[in-house]
Amino acid sequence: MKSNDKNFVKRLQKEKEDALEYIVNQYLPLVKGISFKILGPIQNEGLLEECINDIFLSIWNNAKKFKGDTSNFKYWVATIARFKAIDYYRRAIKNNEVEADFLEFQADFSVEEKIIQAENKEEILALINRTLDPVDQKIIVMRYFLDMGSEEISEKLNLTKSAVDSRIFRGRKKLNKQAKNYYLGGSLGERYL
Amino acid sequence: MKDIYELFNDIEVHDNDKKIEVSDIEKKRVFKQLSHRIVKTKKQSKWKRALSIAIVTFGVMFSAMFGLSFTAYADDIPFLGNIFKFFSSDGNYVEYDKNAEELNLLQESNGIKISINDAIFDGKTLYITYMIETHKDLGENPWVNGMPVFGDSGMSSSQKISRIEDGKYISVMEVDHLSSFELDEINVDWRIESISTEANNQGTVFEGNWEFQFDVEAVERQNLMVNETTEKDGITFTADNISITPMSFILSYSYTATYEITNNWDNVFVTVEVKDNLGNSYKTLNGRGLGDTKILVSSIATFDKVDPNANKLILTPIIELSDNDTIGYDKNGKPIKANYRSIDSEADYKEIQLEEIIVELK
């Protein structure tokens, strides 16, 4: 049996390799386009290629977490592509900064920097999950993981731009407070506070 | 808790306008790279999980203590004849039972008893014989999920589990370490998390906790440096080393293929036929490649015991070049390749026999 536009998500979730081949054929133009838009300025062909591979591997490894049908699979793919490419971009930029070490001594980090610095995003994500309501979770993820502007977010969520801005402001405040309460002495506390 | 990939379900990025054109060749290349890596991630993750348990000192101390106190010695296992002998009916594992270390360790969990009978280690590969006993229905071909861990690098394994009577299964498990050097003694840590009726934890799954820890010394072995190279049609084959054990010999070899070959053929397989000066031919017990590209591959292959009267081994490398199946044609009439080759495939195939390498046995 082969993958087609009807069954490829199911086959992917069952770890059938032909489904991977199918999604590469279908979505490489999209994945490459998104990655190139973000990583293009760095002018590193190898990094771009690695990022594209990583995107597809993440899709393969996390396929079971996709909830939806074949028609909105492409949006999920695009979101992952953007998330990964931004992560690669930030890490590349960080590596290029000679004085990055000095940042460690600065007392007050922004949420944004914490997200960038966190090699393992699970801790920060756990914090977001615990602290914020679903709408704020979405907004923070869009803002800091997907690097979307307030305007783009407001369009997506049907909110006004100022509502988004104030939710980001309050969300960050809550996160910082929670991080202090729960993680003092914990790994997050040590590393970020 | 929702993880990031689950959260992404609710955030639909509409970036369709960013699409750029990608050639079919590039698509194929990306898929090819991925198809190599997806296998690896699976292997690696298992290994990493095992490693992370092993390197935490507390974990090791605790598990060693539990291992000792709860691992019953299986003197009461009914004698069932030697497991190696059972599997040697096809000529494999001859002489393994004589040289194996008897362990007789028993663990029971969730109504399933697992006992390890013998282990033997040849410096490269660990062979463990074990038996499963239960009243539960594990089907015809049960799978044990959890690999023995030893040494300090990744490993691969193979196992065949046979049902010998209702509720009784026996098996020989083979586990390699991927270091280029041989090890003299190993501490083996084998944690089994579940037994399933189908591969990869599918079918009916019986969860439980079976944990074994034991040490195995490698058998005495004699090393012969060979370092001979032979070349033909773009393939360079090098026999690196032969290690002779009381029950087998292990040939390490490597080969390189030119860019033309790897570009023109989907698969490059190299096997070695071994004979001695008395006319005996030797069977491969197992063999596996350790390289990660088609360009340079290092392999080891384990063969039967060397005839003590032989004084020469004759190695003939055989190269099989093959293409994968064509599963259809695109709109330009170009063939679309599968990433596999079926057994009766009619896709291109070519066999090249390289000149033999003769190894003097001292």
User: Residue B154 to residues A124, B47, B251: CA-CA distances in angstroms?
Assistant: 31, 6, 20
**Rounded distance between C-alpha atoms, residue B268 and residue B254, angstroms:** 12
Quick one: angle between helices A73-96 and A45-62, nearest 10? 140
Q: Give me the percent of chain B exceeding a pLDDT of 70.
A: 76
Which residues of chain B lie closer than 8 angstroms to A125, CB-CB? 1, 3-4, 7
User: Residue A67 to residues A146, B102, B182, B309: CA-CA distances in angstroms?
Assistant: 19, 51, 48, 67
**CA angle (B101, B102, B107) in 5-degree steps:** 125
A88 at B interface, C-beta within 8 A: no
Place of tokens 């914090």: A127
- Nearest CB partner across the interface for A76, out of B8, B19, B27: B8
Residue type, A101: D
Q: What is the pLDDT of residues B304-337, one digit of tens each?
A: 888 889 999 999 998 888 888 777 777 777 777 7
- Nearest CB partner across the interface for B20, out of A29, A72, A142: A29
B185 burial level (CB within 10 Å; 0-12, 13-18, 19+)? exposed
| Architecture label for domain B222-360 | Sandwich (2.60)
Yes or no: say if B233 and B277 are a contact pair by the CB < 8 Å rule.
Answer: no
Both tokens assigned to B221? 């072995």
Most confident of B176-185, B303-312, B344-353: B303-312
Neighbouring C-beta atoms of residue B98, cutoff 10 Å = 11
**Rounded distance between C-alpha atoms, residue B311 and residue A162, angstroms:** 87
DSSP 8-state class, residue A144? I
Section B204-222 average pLDDT: 88
Sign of CA dihedral B289, B120, B112, B51: negative
B331 at A interface, C-beta within 8 A: no
pLDDT band at B155 (very low <50, low <70, confident <90, very high): low
Rounding to the nearest 10 degrees, give the CA dihedral for residues B87, B92, B95, B96: -60
Q: What is the pLDDT of residues A74-93, one digit of tens each?
A: 999 999 999 999 888 887 77
B160 at A interface, C-beta within 8 A: no
Name which of B250, B314, B237 is nearest B284 in CA terms: B250
- Nearest CB partner across the interface for B34, out of A57, A66, A81: A57
B326–chain A nearest CA distance, Å: 13
User: Residue A81 to residues A56, A85, B20, B215, B232: CA-CA distances in angstroms?
Assistant: 9, 6, 14, 47, 45
Name which of B75, B54, B40 is nearest B191 in CA terms: B54
List the domain boundaries for chain B.
Answer: 47-217, 222-360
A80–chain B nearest CA distance, Å: 7
A62 at B interface, C-beta within 8 A: yes
Provide the pLDDT for residue A148: 86
User: Residue A190 to residues A91, A104, A120, A185, B355: CA-CA distances in angstroms?
Assistant: 21, 11, 15, 6, 64
- Note the CATH number of domain B47-217: 2.60.40.1630
Best residue in A59, A69, A75, A145 to probe B by mutation, most B CBs within 10 Å?
A75
Structural domains in chain A plus CATH codes: 8-96 (1.10.1740.10), 105-192 (1.10.10.10)
Here the ipTM equals 0.81
Examine domains B47-217 and B222-360 and report if their fold is the same. Answer: yes
Sequence-ordered strand ranges (E) for chain A: none
Q: What is the DSSP string of B118-155?
A: EEEE-SSEEEEEEEEEESS---SS-EEE--EE-TTS--
pLDDT band at A190 (very low <50, low <70, confident <90, very high): very low
State yes or no: pLDDT of B89 exceeds 70.
no
User: Residue A122 to residues A67, A115, B80: CA-CA distances in angstroms?
Assistant: 20, 10, 50
Provide the pLDDT for residue B28: 87
CA atoms within 13 A on the CB side of A93: 13
Section B262-290 average pLDDT: 80
DSSP 8-state class, residue B293? S
B341 burial level (CB within 10 Å; 0-12, 13-18, 19+)? middle
Beta carbons of A83 and B4 less than 8 Å apart: yes
Yes or no: say if B360 and B228 are a contact pair by the CB < 8 Å rule.
Answer: no
φ, ψ for residue B30, nearest 5 deg: -60, -45
A183 at B interface, C-beta within 8 A: no
Beta carbons of A80 and B20 less than 8 Å apart: no
pLDDT band at A55 (very low <50, low <70, confident <90, very high): very high
Q: Of chain B residues 41-60, which have a CB less than 8 A from chain A?
A: 41
Q: What is the pLDDT of residues B107-147, one digit of tens each?
A: 899 999 999 888 888 888 888 888 899 998 888 878 888 88
A152–chain B nearest CA distance, Å: 10
CB contact set of A107 (below 8 Å; sequence gap of 6+): none
Yes or no: say if B82 and B275 are a contact pair by the CB < 8 Å rule.
Answer: no
Beta carbons of B18 and A61 less than 8 Å apart: no
**Rounded distance between C-alpha atoms, residue B175 and residue B158, angstroms:** 7
Yes or no: say if B347 and B224 are a contact pair by the CB < 8 Å rule.
Answer: no
A90–chain B nearest CA distance, Å: 18
Which residues of chain B lie closer than 8 angstroms to A28, CB-CB? 22, 26-27, 30
φ, ψ for residue A111, nearest 5 deg: -55, -40
State yes or no: pLDDT of B193 exceeds 60.
yes
Most confident of A31-45, B53-67, B167-181: A31-45
**CA angle (A92, A93, A97) in 5-degree steps:** 115
**CA angle (B246, B250, B253) in 5-degree steps:** 160
**Rounded distance between C-alpha atoms, residue A164 and residue A143, angstroms:** 10
Place of tokens 């291992």: B67
β-partners of residue B225 are: B241
- For chain A, how big is the Rg over CA atoms in Å? 18
CA atoms within 13 A on the CB side of B54: 21
A172 burial level (CB within 10 Å; 0-12, 13-18, 19+)? middle
Name which of B202, B78, B192, B84 is nearest B141 in CA terms: B202
DSSP 8-state class, residue B278? T
Which residues of chain A lie closer than 8 angstroms to B16, CB-CB? 30, 74, 78
Place of tokens 């000095």: A102
Neighbouring C-beta atoms of residue A78, cutoff 10 Å = 24
Provide the pLDDT for residue B331: 73
Place of tokens 């931004």: A86
- Nearest CB partner across the interface for A24, out of B4, B34, B41: B34
β-partners of residue B192 are: B210
